[in-house]
Amino acid sequence: MSALVLNEEQQMLKDAATRFMAESAPVSQLRALRDSNDETGFSRELWQSMVEMGFVGTLIPEALGGSQFGYVGMGQVSEQAGRNLSASPLLSTAVGGVAALLLAGSSAQQQMLLPKVAAGELLLALAVDETPRHNPAQVSTRLEAKGDGYLLSGRKQFVVDGHVADKLIVSARSSGADSEREGISLVLVDRTAAGVTVERVSMADSRNAALVSFDQVQVSADDLLGEAGQAFAALELTLDVVNGQLAAELLGLSLESFERTVAYLQERKQFGVTIGSFQALQHRCAHLFSELELVKSVVLKALMALDAGAEDAAQLVSLAKAKAAEVAELATNEAVQLHGGMGMTDEFDIGLFMKRARCVQTLFGDYRYHANRFALLRGY
C-alpha cells in the first residue's frame, strides 16, 4: 500500500501551480470577468500562460507534446485552481477532452488532436448530460448510420465551455433504450458544423456552460471515438478522471474558505476580544479541520488509484467526489456564517467560493449520485 504523500516532482508541480494561480489567476480576475459579463469566460492570455507552464499538457503523452505527469500531478493544479477560483478551460479541455481522446480515441486521432491541445491551439468540451441531474446512461441523442458516415440529432446541457470549444465530444445513442449503457457512442463534432446550435449560459458561479442542439449533423466515420455503440466504458472512465479533478478543486476551495475564515476570526473583535477566542467557534473550526483532513486523504488516494489503473479506482473516485462535495458545502456555509453579516456581502470574496462550490458539487454527479454509485460498486 503506497503512502498518501506527494513525491518530489509532484510537490514541485504543486509549488509552481500555487505561485502561478495566486499571481496570474487570482479571485480578482474572476470578479473582473463576472463584472464585464465576459462572453469567453476566461482570459486567452492566461490560457497561453498555462500552456507555457505545462499545465495543459499534464495528462498528454510526451511524444504528443505533453508531460504525462499523471492524475495526481493534475490534481495539484486543480486544487490550486480551486483555491483561487481560477477560470480557464483546464477541466473541459486538458482533463475531460484529453481523457476522452486517450481512453476512446484511435492513435491517429490522438496524434492529430493532442499536440494541438498541448500547444493551446484546440479547445475541447464534453457534451454528456441531457437531464437536470447527471446520468451518463440517459442518452436520447441519436447517432444514425447514413452512407459512409452518420447523422447526429439531439440536445445536451451543462456543456462546460461548450460555447468556445473548437470540438465537442458528444455521447449519442446508436442502439438500445434511452437509459441503457449498451449502444452509446462517442463522436467528435465541430462546434461550427452545420446543424449545431450553441447557446451560452452563465452559471451561478459566473462561469459559462452551454446548451447545445444537434439537428441532422453530418459526422464522418473518422470522427467516431472507438466503435459505434461500444463507448460507455471509456465514457465512464473519462468521467472518473474528471470527477477526480473536481474533487481536487473542491478540496482547494474548501481549504481556502477555511483558512480565510480562521484569519477573519483572529482579526474580528466583539466585546473587546477577538471572536476566535470563543470556544463555540473554535469547536466549529476544529470539526471542519478534521473533515478537510479526510478529504485530503481520499482525494489523493483516488488520484493515485487512477494513475495505477487500480480495480477500485471508480469506487474511490465516487467516494472522493461525494466527500469533497459534502465538506465543500460545510466549509462554505461555515465561512459565510462565521464572517457574520459581512459574509453575505459582495465586498468579501467568501460568497464567490460558495457559488463555485455549489456548481462543482453538482457537475458530473452530486453527493447523492456518487454516494449511491459507491454503494452499488461496493455491492450494496
* Residue 124, strand partner residues: 167
Q: What is the mean pLDDT of residues 58-79?
A: 97
Q: What percent of the chain has pLDDT over 90?
A: 84
**Same domain assignment for residues 206 and 247:** no
Q: Which residue segment(s) compose the domain that 269 sits in? A: 233-377
CATH of the domain at 285: 1.20.140.10
Q: Assess whether 216 and 248 both reside in one domain.
A: no
The most distant pair of C-alpha atoms in the chain lies apart, rounded to whole Å, by 80
User: Does the residue 217 lie in any domain?
Assistant: yes
150 vs 144: CA distance, rounded Å: 5
Say whether both 237 and 370 belong to one domain. Answer: yes
Q: The pTM is what?
A: 0.96
Q: Looking at the structure, tell me whether residues 152 and 116 fall in a common domain.
A: no
More confident residue, 103 or 267: 103
Cβ count near 212 (within 10 Å): 25
Kindly give, in sequence order, each residue whose CB lies less than 8 Å from that of residue 315, ignoring residues fewer than 6 positions away. Answer: 374, 377, 378
Q: Is residue 344 assigned to a domain?
A: yes
**Domain shared by 289 and 370, yes or no:** yes
Q: Which three cell numbers stand for residue 102?
A: 486517450
Which is it for strands 273-274 and 208-220: parallel, antiparallel or unpaired? unpaired
Note the pLDDT tens digit of each residue in 297-307. Answer: 999 999 999 99
Instruction: Give domain status of residue 1, yes or no.
Output: no
> Would you say residue 132 lies in a domain?
yes
Same domain, 163 and 202: yes
Last residue within a domain, chosen from 66, 101, 121: 121
**131 in the same domain as 252:** no
In a domain, 3, yes or no: no
Q: Do 320 and 276 fall into the same domain?
A: yes
Residues 147 and 237 grouped into a single domain:
no
- Let me know if residue 175 belongs to a domain: yes
216: domain CATH number? 2.40.110.10
pLDDT digits (tens, 9 = 90+) for 312-357: 999 999 999 999 999 999 999 999 988 887 777 888 899 999 999 9
pLDDT for position 1:
58
CATH number, domain of 65, equals: 1.10.540.10
Assigned domain for 2 exists: no
String of b and e for 127-143 (b: at least 16 CB within 10 Å)? Answer: bbbbeeebebbbbebbb
Residue ending a domain, among 175, 194, 229, is 229
Residues 219 and 253 in one domain: no
Q: What kind and span of H or E run contains 278?
A: none
How many Å apart are CA 65 and CA 51, to the nearest integer?
A: 11
Same domain membership, residue 241 and residue 367: yes
Count how many domains the chain has: 3
C-alpha cell at 15: 509549488
Rounded to an integer, the average pLDDT of 144-156 is 95
Q: Is the pLDDT of residue 280 over 80?
A: yes
96, 121, 146 — which closes off a domain?
121
Distance, in Å, from the CA atom of 5 to the CA atom of 304, rounded to the nearest integer, reads 10
- What is the C-alpha separation between 170 and 276, in angstroms, rounded? 50
- Same domain assignment for residues 277 and 164: no
Query: Each residue of 125-144: pLDDT tens digit?
Result: 999 999 999 999 999 999 99
Average per-residue pLDDT for the chain: 94
Q: Please give the full DSSP string across 306-367, using - where no structure is assigned.
A: HHHT-TTHHHHHHHHHHHHHHHHHHHHHHHHHHTGGGGGSTTSTHHHHHHHHHHHHHTTS-H
Tell me if 167 is assigned to some domain: yes
List all residues 6 or more positions away from 256 whose beta carbon is below 8 Å from its beta carbon.
Answer: 82, 83, 84, 353
